[in-house]
Amino acid sequence: MANMQGLVERLERAVSRLESLSAVSHRPPGDCGEVNGVSGGVAPSVEAFDKLMNSMVAEFLKNSRILAGDVETHEYQEDRNDLVISETELKQVAYIFKCEKSTLQIKGKVNSIIIDNCKKLGLVFDNVVGIVEVINSQDIQIQVMGRVPTISINKTEGCHIYLSEDALGCEIVSAKSSEMNILIPQDGDYREFPVPEQFKTAWDGSKLITEPAEIMA
């Protein structure tokens, strides 16, 4: 908490300096002084704000989110196959960011799961009441042990989803993604079904009709 308080104080001082810069922004470029390490120039207040967002503000928001207790984060993990979230609550959101060559297991029931900027990540979870989102990632494998209503895949290359018997009603929503496969349990094994990546659209006289395009041999 002491670190958090120090961060708040630093943030307040930086914002005060930014406000002072805005008050004198009518000065010519080069005569705006320096704010949080950013020298005067074209739109110095914008530069100062961007620097704040990329440093202490980002740190402040991250710490605030973790202290709130509703977001469970796993970030920058690599070559880890022992990641487990075992104590979960219905209101929790699991946020997985920039993890590589790792496996994460989430036990119990959570609100939602977000996989962001990950590579070669394996995720196994029991139940999700909201949505599982995969964003800007590569080579993701997801295994659903219980239920999940919706899985969203966006800007991702390679996503394989193993559904349980209880999750066969799950809706898969995809955009700007490739190499997506849904694996359905059948006779003690899984049968793989590719998610269409190409579509064709035609005018039927009153509206546009879009359907998956058949791959031509």
Say what the pLDDT of residue 213 is: 86
What end-to-end distance do the CA atoms of the chain give, in Å? 63
Burial of 61 (0-12, 13-18, 19+ CB in 10 A): exposed
Question: Is residue 95 situated within a structural domain?
Answer: yes
Q: What is the CATH number of the domain that holds 148?
A: 2.160.20.70
Question: Is residue 61 situated within a structural domain?
Answer: no
Mean pLDDT of 144-171: 97
Task: Specify the higher pLDDT residue, 18 or 94.
Answer: 94
Mean pLDDT of 124-142: 97
Please give the torsion angle defined by the CA atoms of residues 121, 126, 127 and 131, in that order, rounded to the nearest 10 degrees: 10
Q: For the packed helices 56-68 and 44-54, what is the interaxial angle rounded to 10 degrees?
A: 40
Structure tokens at 148: 């999940």
DSSP string of 16-60, one letter each residue: HHHHHHHHTTTSPTT-S-EETTEESSSSHHHHHHHHHHHTHHHHH
Mean pLDDT of 23-30: 51
Domain that holds residue 195: 69-212
Q: What span, in angstroms and rounded, lies between the C-alpha atoms of 145 and 154?
A: 22
Question: Is residue 41 situated within a structural domain?
Answer: no
Question: Is residue 180 situated within a structural domain?
Answer: yes
Question: Is residue 123 situated within a structural domain?
Answer: yes
Say what the pLDDT of residue 65 is: 44
Say what the pLDDT of residue 119 is: 97
Mean pLDDT of 168-174: 96
Task: Specify the higher pLDDT residue, 65 or 161.
Answer: 161
Q: Given pLDDT bands bounded at 50, 70 and 90, which one contains residue 6?
A: low
Question: Is residue 57 situated within a structural domain?
Answer: no
Q: Given pLDDT bands bounded at 50, 70 and 90, which one contains residue 25?
A: low
Amino acid at site 207? K
Looking at the 3D structure of the chain, how many domains does it have?
Answer: 1
Question: Is residue 47 situated within a structural domain?
Answer: no
Q: What pTM was computed for the model?
A: 0.66
Q: Given pLDDT bands bounded at 50, 70 and 90, which one contains residue 15?
A: low
- Tell me: pLDDT of 107 over 70: yes
Q: Given pLDDT bands bounded at 50, 70 and 90, which one contains residue 35?
A: very low
- Tell me: pLDDT of 169 over 80: yes
Question: Is residue 189 situated within a structural domain?
Answer: yes
Mean pLDDT of 95-123: 95
Provide CB contacts within 8 A for 131, sequence distance 6+.
112, 113, 148, 149, 150, 151, 152
